[in-house]
Amino acid sequence: MDKRLTMGGAGSFSVAISPNSSAVSSYQWTFSVTGQAGNSPNVNFSGPNAAQTNTDAHWFAQPNDPCTASSIASYQINAEVKFADQGDITHDSFLNVSVPWNPAATTDGRKSDITGTPIIAQRADGTWIVTGIGSLGRKVPTSVSDPFFVTINVPPSSQFYNKTVQHEQVHVNQFIAGLGHLMGDLWDPQVFFGRISGFTASTQANLMTMINTDRLNYDTLEIGIYSQRLSQAEAEAHAVSDPIAPQYIYQTGCQ
């Protein structure tokens, strides 16, 4: 029976001999692929000389091209059974191993935000003003393990897992505050505080409404800048992940 597995998974094959399996002298499991293939085609058989065997799911590239390789790699699985009377039979089936994750992962910087509240106070004349930065903070991606910002679709069992994680780690690092980091100047609480520090209102509620409205306006501005920088962000991430094997499917320009 043909098997369909995702890369990094596990499957099994078996042969049943009827009516008399005691006449079997040996079993032999092998595999083959057609044409030129990359990423070292291989099937590990847990019981290469048994009636039943488990297999891994190692994806290979066919054709051997970074971007045009099929996401499904097809092995021919060969079972040869020999009998004590010198006769033998063979049976072929297929093991199809897929790379189904598209995209491999995402880091969504658009979820970034300014958190907390500034300090506000009432003047002697009754008006309300912003007097300090208070608890204003910056919520941005800081870890590839943070599911709020980062989604890793490739499982750890896949050969593409490390490549994927290193790619997303670049995106996370781009949000480190300060010079030298592509997104490091975005969603800056000091910048936001500078925008609202001159706000005054006749009531506390009105002042908070002004602050929250400008928070939304500032967020929209930052999302726009973030979106303009996405191409450069991807180029920086691919510069790190492209050299990491397997060098297929998730390379620059393949998605």
pLDDT at res. 19: 66
Listed by start position, the domains of the chain span 3-98, 105-241
| Structure confidence at residue 86 (pLDDT) | 72
Tell me: cis bond preceding 63? Omega within 30 of 0 counts.
Answer: yes
Position 20 scores a pLDDT of: 64
Give the pLDDT score at 134. 98
Partner residues linked to 122 by β-bridges: 128
Crossing angle between the packed helical segments 230-241 and 204-228, to the nearest 10 degrees: 50
- The pLDDT of 18-38, averaged and rounded, is 86
pLDDT at residue 56 is higher than 90: yes
- Rounded Cα distance between 144 and 166, Å, is 9
| CA–CA gap between residue 142 and residue 172 (Å, rounded) | 6
Kindly state the percentage of the chain with pLDDT values over 70: 98
Helix (H, G, I), strand (E, B) or coil at 182: coil
Per-residue pLDDT tens digits for 198-234: 999 999 999 999 999 999 999 999 999 999 999 999 9
C-alpha closest to that of 254 among 231, 243, 238, 230: 238
At residue 253, the pLDDT reads: 86
pTM of full prediction above 0.95: no
Q: State the pairing for strand pair 88-98/3-6.
A: parallel
Contact 7, 98 (CB under 8 A): yes
Average pLDDT over every residue of 100-118:
97
> β-strand 113-115 against 105-107: which pairing, if any?
unpaired
User: What's the CA gap between 69 and 60, in Å, rounded?
Assistant: 9
**pLDDT range class, residue 30, cuts 50, 70, 90:** very high
180 exposure class (CB count in 10 Å sphere: 0-12, 13-18, 19+): exposed
Mean pLDDT (the chain) is: 95
User: What CA–CA distance (Å, rounded) separates 172 from 190?
Assistant: 21
Give me the mean pLDDT over the 24-47 stretch. Answer: 94
| Residue whose entry in the numeric block shows the structure tokens 């097809």 | 74
Residue 21 pLDDT class (50, 70, 90 cuts): low
Cα separation, 7 vs 43, whole angstroms: 12
Q: Hey, what CATH topology would domain 3-98 get?
A: Immunoglobulin-like (2.60.40)
Task: Answer whether 142's CB lies under 8 Å from 175's CB.
Answer: yes
CB 77 within 8 A of CB 93: yes
Sign of CA dihedral 191, 193, 197, 201: positive
pLDDT at 88: 86
Parallel, antiparallel, or unpaired for β 88-98 and 105-107? unpaired
Q: For 182, what's the count of Cα atoms within 13 Å in the CB-facing half-sphere?
A: 20
